[in-house]
Amino acid sequence: MHVTEHPAAGAPRAGRHQRHRRAGRRTYRRVAAAAALAAAGILAAACSSSPAPDAARSGGPAITISSFAYHPATLTVRPGAHVTVTNTDAVAHTLTSRSGAFDTGLVQPGQSVTIVAPTKDGTYPYYCTVHQYMSGTLVVSG
């Protein structure tokens, strides 16, 4: 067997397969580092507690979905009020009335939607159709 010497180091030269394996590891590490940075950015955005731009501008009632929960868990509004729902989680959620009075449909991460509160006074429990353990209450009083 013939071993080619590296002229500067005096150590045997790595074979073609070893060089490719090392290059693959470097590429994997770069991709993993980029993915970790992207995930950190998504988590930082998801953990943000600032209100949605529309809610902040309008000053109206708002519900934020964060950490798989509705904030506030109970919101009281006037009949027919426009309520901004903002999803700050990294996954999609819904805000769906158990009585069928309102439904946001899927609210994607970072997205805000507006629902119109029922015109009749009452208590309207709601939940997430994707994560059914998530629940809250909209109280309409006017």
pLDDT by residue for the chain (142 residues), tens digit each? 555 444 555 545 556 556 556 656 666 566 655 555 555 554 444 443 333 444 444 579 999 999 999 999 999 999 999 999 999 999 999 999 999 999 999 999 999 999 999 999 999 999 999 999 999 999 999 9
CATH no. for residue 66? 2.60.40.420
* Whether residue 131 sits in one domain with residue 75: yes
Give the Cα separation of 67 and 50 in Å (integer).
14
Structural domain harbouring 66: 53-140
* Whether residue 118 sits in one domain with residue 87: yes
Specify the number of domains making up the chain. Answer: 2
* Whether residue 133 sits in one domain with residue 98: yes
* Whether residue 117 sits in one domain with residue 65: yes
Pairing of strands 74-77, 69-71: unpaired
* Whether residue 69 sits in one domain with residue 15: no
Quote the radius of gyration of the chain (alpha carbons, Å).
26
* Residue 76 per-residue DSSP state: E
* Whether residue 76 sits in one domain with residue 31: no
Secondary structure string (H, E, C) spanning 43-68:
HHHHCCCCCCHHHHHHCCCEEEEECC
Q: What's the pTM?
A: 0.60
